[in-house]
Structure 1
């Protein structure tokens, strides 16, 4: 058993948010020893004071000073957090603070899970670039699982992850470790010295004019034959001329549509994550919230579509969902389902014989490519797409010259009208 003596504090070391000290103690038999103490914080903010005993004051003071320096510079904790524990805490923190959308949070979790499988048990303070490089090599070799079931009930086979996927994992891990450094959990972001695979950059795949024309006519055919979703052609027009994301299209409500001024306002998004479908007031980035000018042909089609929606709501009665009042609702005004819409758009593309292009996102690329080809400047294209910087647009497309968004709407409107003739 240990007991304190009156002169317990011999030396103190104040290092900003922590205290390291040495105290002199006596055992029951009268033997003197020295105890080094230092303060640490857990991930949840709890402050604790670990200690270690020494035979001499010199040893205790040296160790206390070392702990003061290491805790402040490298975040040494008595609790040995693993990389897996920290990444879980970090993703939960990003989610709780509302910094990212649910789909981005799901992406973060999947990316972290990939790395945790091969490096999750490593202590956070012992993590280095070599360990991360080994994990990336494992992911490139066998980081995924085959979609095909094993023969005779055998488990699915391990398969390689694409270099692009592993690169995305590295970016997520680097962001997590950057925050760990800010929290003083580590002394440096070791991911900056890692060597993730560098996937070859490729331009976004977009439809040719002939393919876009086929898609439009396939959508129009579903309306003239009264098959499929009523107003599907109006949605296709918006996708091909406004370049909005799927989440922005489905989150669009009539109070954000001004047909007299010929604009729509992107204010909210409708996304699907593991938690279900959710309407979010916040868009992807600050630049994602934006007005978009409409070509006249799209305005006229939306007038017709709105009249049809109003008739449906009137016929349905008081139970029709009018708050929010979706532009492309499901039955009874219900919230659109993103996966259902992806299926509808993919069906249109299959009918048109257009392959290897993502529904919605590929059409967004198509609009941007058409605008650039017709001389609209990069800044206007970037603003219309809702990119946070022109660098993103530049990486996907090319450099053109300066025109306003209204001119952009006229250009793409003329181009679209040419596609829809015949």
Structure 2
């Protein structure tokens, strides 16, 4: 049988005082016959009962369902008769439904103290944990060590719908089943905006939740990461009416792109219609759209400074980006999106005359200094990202071209055009500023036309074989 020693000695039948939240030991003649914590009669029971000793003499017992006498745990009984167990370590306390859970927390708290960590904070809700994690990321970004500010806003947006559902849950209680159930609910019933989330939005939500709960494990707010093994439910594809048909599910191949002829048509339309008085009102439009047609991201066009423009060589250097960080047109200028995004683009080789248009813009702006932004309005104010996109779509419509839905689709159009022209993926990725894996996975989708061209190429190759 296990033995325990009281925290303080007692004389005669005077109770021995206990430290922390633990009760005083009952008089010896009572403590020998009942559990010193709950009062349960011991009788002849011995299994699981723990002795309480003083000066080598047994002065009482605790039963298997109660904390041992020297543990910093106290048995609590509510008004309804419900039993719980309150543990106290270094001034912090937690209440648990079972003594085993209380003991586990005490062990973790003591280990964290020895390691110099903060005590486990397993009372945090998912919302509180997410707020702490976002604050930590913001502090890192402010110090120039973390992700871009726009990325943090992306995290915040990705968490909005999940937090609307489980934000009030205690983070330490969330399980993998809970996370997967959440994803199913968001995919069917909808999220914060009351609309079902797309597969892509669900993926972003899960990836962000994994980071939040990983942070929870790090600060001892959760024991494990319930999102680590969770999976996004597979998107249901529409059935085809007959064999050989195509599904109506949205894929990369279904999204619109422009052909090379349409890209040239857009360039010529802008050159023709953004001239004279129209150009004087918004002189940035023609140069901006030319840069977009050269494969620059919107953020790269808007973050371009005159120091990065070589008017003689007809090149621009991508070293910065200006991104939308929230509502009301707020933006932030940061470094290039990725290491692969840092590049020199030969804009005059891609669209002859671009350097001439850039020079005209520079002259119209009064020959600004090198750190000045290229894309500004007549008042010298930076053009808002939404304004830039709206102008692109308006010009596309006026030119009679298909609506791409997003200015970013110009980059996809260029990628497909380069691939069709026989440009190797490495060169195509270098022009657009991303790695080859991204280029192949997201910018070169497969479709029926690709399969047909592949089959024709195989047939031609086999026909050329001479046995």
Q: What is the CA distance between 1:177 and its match in structure 2?
A: 2.2
Counterpart of 2:208 in structure 1 is 172
Equivalent runs, 1:77-156 vs 2, <5 Å: 77=120, 79-98=122-141, 99-144=146-191
Counterpart of 2:390 in structure 1 is 343
Conserved in 2, the CA contact under 8 Å of 1:251 and 1:279?
no
Give the secondary-structure state (helix, strand or coil) at the position aligned to 2:72: strand
Give the secondary-structure state (helix, strand or coil) at the position aligned to 1:264: strand
The size of the alignment, in residue pairs, is: 350
Q: 1:357 to 1:311 in 2, by over 3 A?
A: closer
Structure 1, unmatched stretches of 5+, are 7-21, 38-46, 54-58, 147-157, 315-320, 400-422
Distance 1:35 1:23 in 2: 9
Give the secondary-structure state (helix, strand or coil) at the position aligned to 2:362: helix
Q: Does 1:218 align with 2:269?
A: yes
Q: TM-score when scaled to structure 1?
A: 0.71
Q: Between Structure 1 and Structure 2, which shows a larger proportion of strand residues? A: 1
Conserved in 1, the CA contact under 8 Å of 2:298 and 2:385?
yes
Q: TM-score when scaled to structure 2?
A: 0.65
Q: Does 1:50 align with 2:86?
A: no
Counterpart of 1:192 in structure 2 is 228
Q: Which has the larger Rg? A: 2
Distance 1:235 1:5 in 2: 81
Equivalent of 1:383 in 423, 430, 438: 430
Give the secondary-structure state (helix, strand or coil) at the position aligned to 1:305: helix
Q: 1:29 to 1:279 in 2, by over 3 A?
A: same
Q: 1:234 to 1:252 in 2, by over 3 A?
A: same
Q: 1:34 to 1:23 in 2, by over 3 A?
A: farther
Distance 1:52 1:232 in 2: 62
Q: Does 1:202 align with 2:255?
A: no
Q: CA RMSD in A?
A: 3.8
Equivalent runs, 1:246-261 vs 2, <5 Å: 246-261=298-313
Distance 2:315 2:152 in 1: 31
Distance 1:72 1:358 in 2: 57
Distance 2:364 2:112 in 1: 70
Distance 1:63 1:250 in 2: 52
Equivalent of 1:285 in 321, 335, 338: 338
Distance 1:329 1:127 in 2: 49
Equivalent of 1:354 in 385, 401, 405: 401
Distance 2:25 2:114 in 1: 35
Which is worse superposed, 174-183 or 374-383?
174-183
Q: 1:302 to 1:328 in 2, by over 3 A?
A: farther
Distance 1:209 1:60 in 2: 68
Deviations, residues 187-229 of structure 1 (Å, cap 9, x unaligned): 3322132231334752464212333233223212322454262
Distance 1:63 1:385 in 2: 52
Q: Between Structure 1 and Structure 2, which shows a larger proportion of helix residues? A: 1
Distance 1:60 1:300 in 2: 74
Q: Does 1:236 align with 2:267?
A: no
Q: 1:221 to 1:137 in 2, by over 3 A?
A: same
